[in-house]
Amino acid sequence: MKRIGILIMLLTANLANGCSVQKRKPAAELKTVSRSEWQAAPAKPYKSNRPVRITVHHEGTLIDSSKNVAQFIKNIQTWGMGKDRNWADVPYHFFIGPDGRVYEGRDVFTAGETATEYDPSGHLLISCLGNFEKQEVPQRQLDALVALIAQCNAKYNIPADSLGTHRDHSSKTTCPGKNLYKYFADGSIAKRVKALEK
């Protein structure tokens, strides 16, 4: 009984001093364009989801900074929730535009959607807007991707070594495109994310 009492006292002291069991340093919070700012429609009822890994996609359409990204994401939502797909919302939890701006997608605690065979339950889905089979990734977009991954790892306690891409979970796609995938294949994104988490 004495030993249990001492343990409780130590735990209480640690909590009072601001210590926690989780030692991960939270990444600096990115400014995110909210759903209301891009005029999202309300989501339909959805399957609940607890993210345990991050999976990166590209949207697949050639796009640059001259595009109205907010309207583009709204169009994705309208199409995805329409008769062609009948999804609950936009398919991804976050979008990143060519200029590095991050857009709020579906609720993180909602299972995402995919047009291929893998089950996205437990995946936090990030989509970089563009077609990276055909175009290079703008530096600002790449930097924002690294920062967003680090932020989500810390915020949702996602293991850093769980990071992957769409093509790592599906044999039916080259997503996120060779020009983005190369940064995953050579380990440079994982290395940059870890540096932000120190």
| Rounded-to-integer distance, Cα 59 and Cα 95, Å | 9
User: CB-based burial of residue 109 (10 Å sphere; 0-12 exposed, 13-18 middle, 19+ buried)?
Assistant: middle
Q: Cβ distance 123 to 51 under 8 Å?
A: yes
157 pLDDT higher than 80: yes
What does the block give as tokens for 83? 């008769």
- 53-58 sheet: strands from edge to edge: 32-33, 102-104, 94-96, 123-128, 53-58, 164-165
Q: Cβ distance 194 to 159 under 8 Å?
A: no
Sketch the domain layout of the chain as residue ranges.
26-197
| Rounded-to-integer distance, Cα 198 and Cα 187, Å | 17
Share of the chain above pLDDT 70, in %: 86
Specify the pTM.
0.85
What is the CATH number assigned to the segment(s) 26-197? Answer: 3.40.80.10
User: Each residue of 30-50: pLDDT tens digit?
Assistant: 889 999 999 999 999 988 889
User: Each residue of 64-90: pLDDT tens digit?
Assistant: 878 899 999 999 999 999 998 999 999
Return all residues near 173 (Cβ < 8 A) that are at least 6 apart: 116, 166, 167
Res 12: pLDDT: 37
Q: Given CA atoms 169, 174, 177, 181 in this order, what sign does their dihedral have?
A: positive
Return all residues near 84 (Cβ < 8 A) that are at least 6 apart: none
User: Each residue of 14-30: pLDDT tens digit?
Assistant: 333 333 334 445 456 78
| H helical segments located in 66-121 | 69-81
Res 25: pLDDT: 52
Q: What is the mean pLDDT of residues 51-58?
A: 97
Return all residues near 145 (Cβ < 8 A) that are at least 6 apart: 56, 96, 126, 128, 189
At residue 73, the 3 state secondary structure works out as helix
